[in-house]
Amino acid sequence: MDSLNRFAERKLAAIERRSLRRELGVVERVDARRVRRGGRELVSFASNDYLGLSHDPGVVAASVEAVRRFGVGAGASRLIEGNHPLYAALEQRLAALKGTDAAIVFGSGYLTNVGVLPLFAGAADLVVIDELCHSCLLAGAELSGAAVRSFAHNDVAAARALLERERADARHCLVVTDGVFSMEGELAPLPELGALAREFDAWLLADDAHGLGVVGSGRGSTFAHAAPADVPLQMGTLSKAVGAYGGYLCADAPVVELVANRARSFVYSTGLPPGTVAAATAALDVIATDTARTSRPLALARRFTETLGLPGAGSPIVAWPCPTPARALAASRALAEAGFFAPAIRPPTVPPGTACVRLAFSAVHTDDDAARLAEAVAELERAA
């Protein structure tokens, strides 16, 4: 065996020893609610498709029509030939929903963060970032070449201490957080962070991947507090509650204009497929109008945390804590036995020494699905 394969095998063996090896198992989504996996049909609590929009008949029809009309691929980057007529409607809806002048759509949420952070922070600058931020925010921060300082999770005083100590030495400063934390499900204190950033002439970027469509009357985490938070850089994804694919940044017009000119992952990557853009636009129309749908995932999550005596859910995501990765895997397997798909979340997705089973509630779950899941989890807790 050559050295490359030996290197890979050695790394994999080390991962395996720590119960951290992941399996790329085949999962067939039967509809927005159920999956077929290992020959069995399970009710899924694993998906980020919080509103079931990936399988919504109206959204699917809009997508199919766009494919028929414009083809399956964009053909080029948006600045060349890939900016098909459907983009304008999507960006207009995003800006309206987020209350900004403008919006710009990228190929994915990951591409948005690795494009936007390095554009607004560079070698002379400072990035102040929550320690539990999503991996692609960290990747963007590292790519920027700025000094990166992380603060204790959701600790505004710790963020302030960093700014007091280091802001004056930096040219520009970004404060970066998830709006809803993707594994824990908690909201960030966006109003406080927004005010703090203003005070220090820093620019707040909030990642709303898990907020859009499900908190703040569907408008996302910026709007999930007593008053709208001051967030000049609102980014997120079209691949979770929106049910499609892509990423976006909502901001003032000059900011969006600069992104279109200079964000590398925007300029040098092909535009989204037309069918995907049409799907996202149709899904946003549902999100903007159907409050019964956008309020249901959080209501189900709250009922679940109340039943189990867990801290009250702030989003449709509930992290059921497990003491070790091995225990999280065992709990996930036991839930599959009971008919539910809920993944064990292990490091490096969560910090070393922690693990959980992540439960994501969706508008398409029935009351009975949620009640039976609560019973199964309660039973596992009694047995532990």
Ligand X SMILES: *Cc1c(COP(=O)(O)O)cnc(C)c1O
In the complex, which residues of this chain contact ligand X (CB under 6 A)? 108-110, 134, 136, 178, 182, 207, 209-210, 237, 239, 247
CB closer to ligand X, 66 vs 205: 205
CB 284 within 8 A of CB 97: yes
CB closer to ligand X, 102 vs 116: 116
The structure tokens 């970032």 sit at: 129
Nearest distance, CB of residue 209 and ligand X, angstroms: 3
Distance of CA 90 to the CA centre of its chain: 19
Nearest distance, CB of residue 113 and ligand X, angstroms: 6
Q: Please state, in angstroms and rounded to a whole number, the distance separating the CA atoms of residues 136 and 117.
A: 10
Distance of CA 336 to the CA centre of its chain: 24
CB closer to ligand X, 274 vs 376: 274
Task: Please give the angle made by the CA atoms of 209, 210 and 211, to the nearest 5 degrees.
Answer: 100
Q: Please state, in angstroms and rounded to a whole number, the distance separating the CA atoms of residues 196 and 161.
A: 11
Note the helical H segments in the chain: 3-17, 57-70, 86-98, 109-120, 135-144, 156-166, 190-199, 253-262, 264-267, 274-289, 291-308, 325-337, 367-383
**CA separation, residue 119 to residues 113, 141, 172, 265, 266 (Å):** 10, 10, 11, 10, 11
CB 77 within 8 A of CB 267: yes
CB closer to ligand X, 98 vs 210: 210
Amino acid at 123: A
CB closer to ligand X, 182 vs 281: 182
CB 326 within 8 A of CB 19: yes
Closest chain position to ligand X (CB): 109
Nearest distance, CB of residue 282 and ligand X, angstroms: 18
Nearest distance, CB of residue 193 and ligand X, angstroms: 15
Nearest distance, CB of residue 281 and ligand X, angstroms: 16
CB closer to ligand X, 43 vs 209: 209
Nearest distance, CB of residue 263 and ligand X, angstroms: 15
CB 235 within 8 A of CB 109: yes
Cα–Cα nearest to 279, from 48, 11, 47, 57: 57
Nearest distance, CB of residue 134 and ligand X, angstroms: 3
Nearest distance, CB of residue 286 and ligand X, angstroms: 19
CB closer to ligand X, 108 vs 332: 108
CB closer to ligand X, 221 vs 374: 221
